[in-house]
Amino acid sequence: MSFSLWLSLLTACLVISFTPGAGAINTMSNALASGWRRSLWGVVGQQIALLIHIVIVAAGIGVLVARSPVVFTAIRYLGAAYLVYLGVRMAFARPRVADPAASATVVPRVTNRAMLLRGLWVNLLNPKAIVFFLAFIPQFIRPDGPQLPQYLVLTATTLAVDVLVMWFFFAAAAKPFGRFAATARGQRVLNGVFGALFVAVAALLLFMH
């Protein structure tokens, strides 16, 4: 891959990663609930999903998904249902406080594994990501050149940019709300806001074509 083509790839990845979506919402939610450092586990889960999407497209399976209305619709509804589930669960979650004498119920913190799996499913259950990569990847892969090195560069660039943007921008953006999120009232408000955002993204997934 030429340097000029790689710069175009880098620019495209930055624009895509900075575009708010379910991944950004999930990252900010994790940062508020579990702290900036531990939110990285959710980001890692999201990157595993992106890697799977790239492999699916590179293997040609993505074409089958994109051309099969039944499979595409099934994945789309499953993805929307999962986002609604996350939204409703978050909106009605009990506030978690550090002091047992406080008025709110003490709730066990979310495990690293749980954050990783949630990040994985948030990004994986999005059939439009497959369609996006079907349109995105051919712009930066030259069919007349060695395929593996090109895919490795594309994958490394895509994942590196997304990790940096998710962790150092969206997760860090949640830091100013840390004190507010430490109170029972603040947690209720933020849980309601992020729950509603998950449901809104689910609606967009279903109704925007």
> Which amino acid is located at 151 in the chain?
Y
How many Å apart are CA 38 and CA 196, to the nearest integer?
23
Rounded to 10°, the helix 127-136/69-91 angle is 120
Residue 115 domain flag = yes
3 belongs to a structural domain? no
Closest by Cα among 134, 136, 130 to 158: 136
Most confident of 59-68, 93-102, 114-123: 114-123
pLDDT tens-digit map of 89-106: 878 877 765 544 444 444
Within a domain: 4 = no
Per-residue H/E/C for the chain: CCHHHHHHHHHHHHHHHHCCCHHHHHHHHHHHHHCCCCCHHHHHHHHHHHHHHHHHHHCCHHHHHHHCHHHHHHHHHHHHHHHHHHHHHHHCCCCCCCCCCCCCCCCCCCCHHHHHHHHHHHHHCCHHHHHHHHHHHHHCCCCCCCHHHHHHHHHHHHHHHHHHHHHHHHHHHCHHHHHHHCCHHHHHHHHHHHHHHHHHHHHHHHHCC
Domain residue limits at 139:
23-207
Checking if the pLDDT of 178 tops 80, the result is: no
pLDDT of residue 179: 74
The number of domains in the chain is 1
Average pLDDT of the chain, as a whole number: 81
Cβ atoms 170, 69 nearer than 8 A: no
Burial, 131: exposed, middle or buried (Cβ in 10 Å; 0-12, 13-18, 19+)? middle
**If you average pLDDT over residues 52-58, what whole number do you get?**
89
First CA to last CA distance, the chain: 32
Residue 14 lies in a domain: no
What pLDDT digit, counting tens, does each position of 120-149 carry? 998 888 766 777 787 778 778 887 788 889
Q: Are 97 and 104 in contact (CB under 8 A)?
A: yes
Confirm whether 121 is domain-assigned.
yes
| CA 104 – CA 83 distance, rounded (Å) | 26
Q: Is residue 15 part of a domain?
A: no
Does the pTM surpass 0.75? The reply is yes
pLDDT at 186 over 90: no
For residues 5 and 19, which has the higher predicted lDDT (pLDDT)?
A: 5
